[in-house]
Amino acid sequence: MDTHSLTVVKNRFQAPLMFGTAFLIALIIMGQALRWWVLRPIAALQQSTDKIQQGDFNIDPPVQGSGEIRHLSSSFARMAEYVRETNRELENKVRERTEELQRLTEIDSLTGLLNRRGMTERFEEEIARQARQGGSLGVLLLDLDHFKQINDNYGHAAGDLALCETARAIQSTKRSYDH
Query: Does the pLDDT at position 1 exceed 60?
Result: no
Q: Alpha helix locations (H) across the chain?
A: 3-34, 40-53, 68-106, 116-133, 147-154, 156-173
Confidence of residue 23 (pLDDT cuts 50, 70, 90): very high
d(CA 115, CA 123): 12
Mean pLDDT (whole number) for 134-139: 85
- Segment 20-25 shows an average pLDDT of 92
Q: How far apart are CA 99 and CA 53, in angstroms?
A: 28
pLDDT, residue 120, reads 92
Average pLDDT over residues 118-135: 90
| CA proximity to 147, closest of 167, 131, 169, 163 | 163
- Would you state the pLDDT for residue 4? 59
Query: At what angle are helices 147-154 and 156-173 packed, to 10 degrees?
Result: 140
Q: In this predicted model, what pLDDT tens digit does every residue of 89-100 receive, in sequence order?
A: 999 999 999 999
Q: Are 159 and 147 in contact (CB under 8 A)?
A: yes
Alpha-carbon distances, residue 85 vs 22, 72, 93, 103 (angstroms): 52, 20, 12, 27
pLDDT in tens, 108-123: 989 999 999 999 999 9
**Cut 0.85: pTM above it:** no
> Does residue 137 carry a pLDDT above 90?
no
Say what the pLDDT of residue 166 is. 92
Q: What is the pLDDT of residue 97?
A: 95
